[in-house]
Amino acid sequence: MKLLFLSVLLSLSLLAASPPDSKDAKITRNEAQHIALTQYPGARVTAAKLETVQGTLVWSIQIALPDAKAVVVAVNAQTGRVVPGKEGTR
């Protein structure tokens, strides 16, 4: 019985957690993509999503570099600044 209660509680908490809404961001997706591309001239955006990272709303922008590497740049969705230390190569 306790296991059933815990699984129902977990399911409800997962349903309550919703992804961030772009209406909450001051920086639009297009603005964030432009900001990220200024860091890597000649690259192109392959994906962009809004997410919360350590309580901060950020646009995660995946960029394809000319040498076929992929880089993710996090742009603060409130200020438009690139989040230091959040860049990563994929």
Give the torsion sign (CA, 78, 41, 71, 21). Answer: positive
Question: One digit per residue, pLDDT tens: the chain, 90 residues?
Answer: 443 333 433 444 443 445 677 778 999 999 999 999 999 989 999 999 999 988 999 999 999 999 888 999 999 999 999 998 755 554
Pick the CATH number of 20-89 from 3.10.450.40, 3.30.70.260, 1.10.10.60, 3.30.1490.100: 3.10.450.40
- Report the DSSP beta bridge partners of residue 89: 71
Instruction: Give the pLDDT score at 88.
Output: 54
Instruction: Give the pLDDT score at 4.
Output: 36
User: Token match 């860091």: residue?
Assistant: 39
Q: Is 29 exposed, middle or buried (0-12, 13-18, 19+ CB in 10 A)?
A: middle
What's the pTM value of the predicted model, to 2 decimals? 0.72
